[in-house]
Amino acid sequence: AQRVTQPEKLLSVFKGAPVELKCNYSYSGSPELFWYVQYSRQRLQLLLRHISRESIKGFTADLNKGETSFHLKKPFAQEEDSAMYYCALGGYSGAGSYQLTFGKGTKLSVIP
């Protein structure tokens, strides 16, 4: 079974402080990990995917298979980063079909 855990429901940081949104996963195969973001009054959208190894809006995330983690990091938080962040795991379910499983999300609040 696939499982994604985001231990923090809410994370508050000051502007300019580093940010780390935690994500741990459980999956027996080779995982594909993603971060999705939902800004206020906007749709849920893809932020980044581990396979791209890219930095989007200053955010990076490294897949650590040993710790089964995919934490999202940014060195200096900006007010516009305030949003709901969801970690997602792509993998094959028991029936052999691909499925994207989301965590419950972490609300990031950047304090001016």
Partner 1 sequence: EAGVTQSPTHLIKTRGQQATLRCSPISGHTSVYWYQQALGLGLQFLLWYDEGEERNRGNFPPRFSGRQFPNYSSELNVNALELEDSALYLCASSLGGRFTGELFFGEGSRLTVL
For residues 47-66, which are near partner 1 according to CB under 8 A? 49, 51
Applying CB under 8 A, which of residues 75, 93, 109, 111 lies at the interface with partner 1?
A: 93
Tokens of 28: 């027996």
Q: How many residues does the chain have?
A: 112
- Residues 57, 64: Cα–Cα separation, whole Å: 21
102 binds partner 1 (CB under 8 A): yes
10 binds partner 1 (CB under 8 A): no
- Residue 73: exposure state from Cβ atoms within 10 A (0-12, 13-18, ≥19): middle
CB nearer partner 1, residue 6 or residue 77: 6
Q: Which amino acid is at 31?
A: P
Task: Using CB under 8 A, list all residues that contact partner 1.
Answer: 32, 34, 43-46, 49, 51, 86, 88, 90, 93, 95, 97-105
